[in-house]
Amino acid sequence: MTSMTATPTLTKKDFESDQDVRWCPGCGDYAVLAQMQKLMPTLGIPRENFAFISGIGCSSRFPYYMETYGMHSIHGRAPAIATGLKLARPELSVWVVTGDGDALAIGGNHFIHAMRRNIGLKIILLNNRIYGLTKGQYSPTSELGKKTKTTPLGSIDRPFSPVAVALGAGATFVARTTDADQAHMGSVLKRAAEHEGTAFVEIFQNCIVFNDGAFAAITDKSVRDDARLLLEHGKPLVFGKNKDKGIRLRGLEPEVVTIGEDGVSVSDLVVHDEASEHSGAAFFLSQFDAPRLPVPLGVFRAVSTPTYEGMNTQLHADARASRGRGDLAALFNSGDLWTIT
């Protein structure tokens, strides 16, 4: 290659692999794949420097469809595998694509520890609140009372919120979006891509076969504006079709108010601060759930903290600065030696 040859500009097509996509027609995963393939060429990263790692589940087929490096591994372990890859090769852009069962049930431990360490992985969780690949059992995010094949009388498992789990584990970037809002998903994924450290994105994903309409209230254009709350940094928490509803604090309790009624003005509303040092505000938002409160979408938290791989690289640099590059003969000949002649 000569210096004249500029790096070719990549397009979405360059990130589409030759494999037939095998999700059910109408599955929300298609939209995520399309957004991802669209995002990749905009990041200024050579294609060969991307790696997609997944576990098991419908969403975990994802890497096969990306024309990047990738691994479809074993159930729940993708964050652990990706951690090893990122530590060995910090210069790579490493993405984990996972699901609610993969990340929160069988792989819960790896999921929380990746975020605790703040290792530079992008963890995209496609939450469809059901087990799709095994044909319809309840998942850790299925709602109480949910009837599935394994809960014919309704689930008695309390669900947890992936966003709350991520925040509890100390994640430095936490966001939520839906498969139905392409523009929103695209912007959230871009923010995640640019974050240093672990970036966690929950995507509400419709499983058309086993849990169709699970997020209809939030994604259906006719009703969604009253059910969702689009987070914007530095802006008050306003929502509703007419942008006339807001969130006000009474003590530590959030309440929905209508702007202009009972003397409520925008200045009474909570202002979203994604960069808040502590994650309390973000956690507060993570507890919002329908029907009492609108479901927040967007970036809950984005703070800058040293990354795990960065600190690891620094440790190695420091060790070399103080001890010099390791020398095998010197290592062998250290400690208590004696000579036999």
Partner 1 sequence: MSVTQAAEEAGEPGRAPSRLVEELESVVIRFVGDSGDGIQLTGTEFSRAVAKAGHDFATHPDYPSEIRAPTGTLFGVSGYQIQFAARQVFTSGDAPDVLVAMNPAALKTNLSDVKRGGIVIVNSGAFTDGNLAKAGYKANPLEDGSLGDFRLYQIDISELTAHALKETGLSKKEIGRCKNYYALGLMLALYSRPLEKEEEDVRRKFAKKPEIAEANVLALRAGYAYVDSTEMFVTSYKVRTAKIAPGTYRSLTGNHAAALGFVAASERSGVPLFLGSYPITPATDILHELSALKHFDIATFQAEDEIAGICSAIGAAYGGALGMTTTSGPGMALKTEALGLAVMLELPLVVVNVQRGGPSTGLPTKIEQSDLLQALYGRNGECPIPVIAANSPADCFDCAIEAFRIAVKYMTPVIFLSDGGIGNAAEPWRVPDPESLPKLEVRFRTDPEGFQVYARDANLARAWVRPGTPGLEHRIGGLEKDFLTGDISHDPANHQRMVEVRAAKVEGIAKDIPPLEVDGPDDGDLLVVGWGSTYGSIVQACEQAAAEGRSVARVHLRHLNPLPPDLGGILKRYKRVLVPEMNLGQLSRLLRERYLIDVIQLSKVQGKPFKVSEIYDRIIDFS
What residue 73 binds from ligand SF4, partner 1, none (CB within 5 to 8 A, per partner kind)? partner 1
Shortest spacing between CB 313 and partner 1, in angstroms: 9
Cis peptide bond upstream of 152, omega within 30:
no
Nearer to partner 1, 42 or 109 (CB): 109
24 lies in the site for ligand SF4, by CB under 6 A: yes
What residue 213 binds from partner 1, ligand SF4, none (CB within 5 to 8 A, per partner kind)? none
Nearer to ligand SF4, 126 or 163 (CB): 126
Structure tokens at 144: 């109480």
Burial class (CB in 10 A: 0-12, 13-18, 19+), 26: exposed
Contacts of 150 (CB under 8 A, 6+ apart): 137, 138
| Alpha-carbon span 117 to 111, nearest angstrom | 10
Structure tokens at 93: 């852009």
Beta bridge mates, 250: 253
Beta bridge mates, 259: none
By CB under 6 A, the count of residues binding ligand SF4 is: 11
| Alpha-carbon span 79 to 94, nearest angstrom | 10
183 lies in the site for partner 1, by CB under 8 A: no
Closest residue by Cα to residue 50 from 115, 97, 107, 118: 97
Residue 123, CA atoms < 13 Å, CB-side half-sphere: 42
User: Would you say the C-alpha torsion 251, 254, 260, 262 has a positive or negative sign?
Assistant: negative
Nearer to ligand SF4, 29 or 274 (CB): 29
Shortest spacing between CB 97 and ligand SF4, in angstroms: 13
What residue 329 binds from ligand SF4, partner 1, none (CB within 5 to 8 A, per partner kind)? partner 1
Please report, as residue ranges, which positions from 79 to 98 form the binding site for partner 1 (by CB under 8 A).
Answer: 80-89, 91-92
11: left (phi over 0), alpha (psi -120 to 50) or beta: beta
In this chain, which of 10, 38, 41, 64 binds partner 1, going by CB under 8 A?
64
In this chain, which of 45, 85, 164, 209 binds ligand SF4, going by CB under 6 A?
209
Burial class (CB in 10 A: 0-12, 13-18, 19+), 72: middle
Contact stretch for ligand SF4 (CB under 6 A) within 2-10, 20-28, 83-91, 185-193: 20-28
210 lies in the site for ligand SF4, by CB under 6 A: yes
In this chain, which of 73, 93, 127, 128 binds ligand SF4, going by CB under 6 A?
128
Shortest spacing between CB 193 and partner 1, in angstroms: 17
For 171-180, letters b (16+ CB in 10 Å) and e give bbbbbbbbbb
174 lies in the site for partner 1, by CB under 8 A: no
Shortest spacing between CB 335 and partner 1, in angstroms: 5
Shortest spacing between CB 70 and partner 1, in angstroms: 4
- Give residue 118's Cα distance to chain centre: 13
| Alpha-carbon span 207 to 23, nearest angstrom | 10
| Alpha-carbon span 247 to 55, nearest angstrom | 38
Please report, as residue ranges, which positions from 53 to 82 form the binding site for ligand SF4 (by CB under 6 A).
Answer: 58
H or E, element range at 173: strand 173-178
4 lies in the site for partner 1, by CB under 8 A: no
33 lies in the site for partner 1, by CB under 8 A: no
Contact stretch for partner 1 (CB under 8 A) within 26-34, 59-67, 268-276, 290-298: 59-67
Binding site for partner 1 (CB under 8 A): 17, 19, 46-49, 51, 53, 63-64, 66-74, 77, 80-89, 91-92, 109-110, 113, 312, 315-316, 318-320, 322-326, 328-329, 331-333, 335-341
Binding site for ligand SF4 (CB under 6 A): 23-24, 27, 29, 58, 128, 132, 207-210
